[in-house]
Amino acid sequence: MPAAIEVEHLTRVWPQPKGPPVVAVHDASFSVEGGEVLGLLGPNGAGKTTLMQVLATLTTPDEGRVRVAGFDVVEDPRAVRRHLGYLSTTSGLPARLTCRECLVLFARLHELPDPRAAAEAAIARFRLGDFGDRFVEGLSTGMRQRVRIACASVHRPPVLILDEPTAGLDLMSTDDLLREVVGLRDEGAAVLYSTHLMHEVDRICDRVAVLYQGRLLVVDTLDGLRASTGTADLAEAFRRVVGSQGLS
């Protein structure tokens, strides 16, 4: 059975108006199985967002092959989107729709047989009942993030791509959201989870991939990373991996 996410020798280059092109991702290969959370780590500008955008069909790879849920992101992007839930730091929801309306809209666009039932199920799963009829723009950051992840997963996708989903959230909201991600993983979803926060990695990730200047340095389990870097502290392990490439 193929992995939920398969990335083989992916390269993505961003041309620049002035100066040489930027190689955002270079020859990256990894995979993520269903029921697994892969933490994607890397300093700012490492290429994490570009990698996730390729997986989400927001941009295309220059080289290599990427398959999501068994579908090629170039050859069948719509099928990829049908099996994908995507949440980034820049994605948003229509401000003047209520949470419930957003969920119904997403369910309809995914052509679910009973959009309203799917929306109600998501409301129950993510505990949105108290503010289901409030406009998205009137929600706090944490509430809004919960609605966004509920919308991204209303169709129960086998693959979730989450780009720093807890950015800006308080502790309680972060706890809620991580619990929800774990719940989705336990339901069998493959999750690619980008973050800068090591305690989140320690809490929910099964494996980690470290990206630095577009190159994938390490793909390993948490224990494997600790062992290879000689430290039990994940933050220190990350520093050592990246530091070995010349970053202090």
Partner 1 sequence: MRLRPGAIRCFVRAVVVLTGAELRRLLRTGSVYAVVLLPSLLLIPVALLIGTLAMSVVDQRDVVALPRSLPPELDLVAGLEAADWKVVQVADPAAALDEGDADVARLSWERREGIAAAGSLELAGRARWRFVVDGDDPDVVAALRGQLVALGDDWLEDAVAAAGGDPEVDLWVARVDVQALEPTEPQLLDPVRGWRAYVIFLLGSVAFFFLSLTGVADRRQGVTETLAVLPVSRQAVLWARLLALFLVQVMATVGLGVNFLLLLASVAADRDLQVPGGWALLSLAGAVLLSDALYGIIAVVAPSARAANNGSSAVMLVLVALLCVGVFVDGAWWVPLAGGVSARGPLENGVCLVSSLVATAAVVGMCARALDRRVDLVLKGAEG
Where on the chain is the footprint of partner 1 (CB under 8 A)?
56-58, 78-79, 81-82, 84, 86, 88, 90-97, 101, 105-106, 108-111, 135, 148, 151
Question: Among 162, 146, 145, which residue's Cα sits nearest to residue 40?
Answer: 162
Using the minimum distance from each CB to partner 1, give the nearer residue, 96 or 199: 96
CB of 220 to partner 1, least distance (A): 29
141 versus 244: smaller Cβ distance to partner 1 = 141
88 versus 174: smaller Cβ distance to partner 1: 88
Give 221's strand partners: 207
Q: How far is the CB of 1 from partner 1 (least distance, A)?
A: 23
The type of residue at 230 is: G
List beta partners, residue 23.
13
Cβ at position 153, least distance to partner 1 in Å: 12
Burial code (b: 16+ CB inside 10 Å, e: under 16) for 92-122 equals ebeeeebbbbbbbbbbeebebeebeebbbbb
Q: CB of 135: closest distance to partner 1 in angstroms?
A: 8
Instruction: Count how many Cα atoms sit within 13 Å of the Cα of residue 29 in the half-sphere of its side chain.
Output: 6
Q: What is the pairing mode between strands 37-41 and 63-68?
A: unpaired
CB 110, min distance to partner 1, A: 6
Beta carbon nearer to partner 1, 21 or 92: 92
Q: Is 128 helix (H, G, I), strand (E, B) or coil?
A: coil
**Which residue number, 93 or 216, has a Cβ lying nearer to partner 1?**
93
| Alpha helix ranges (H) inside the chain | 48-55, 77-82, 99-109, 115-125, 141-152, 171-186, 198-204, 222-229, 234-243
At its nearest, how many Å lie between partner 1 and the CB of residue 230?
Answer: 40
For 136-160, give the DSSP string.
GGGS-HHHHHHHHHHHHTTT--SEE
Tell me whether residue 43 or residue 70 sits nearer to partner 1 (CB atom). Answer: 70
**Shortest separation between residue 6's beta carbon and partner 1, angstroms:** 18
Contact between 166 and 174 under an 8 Å Cβ cutoff? The reply is yes
| 71 vs 238 by CB, closer to partner 1 | 71
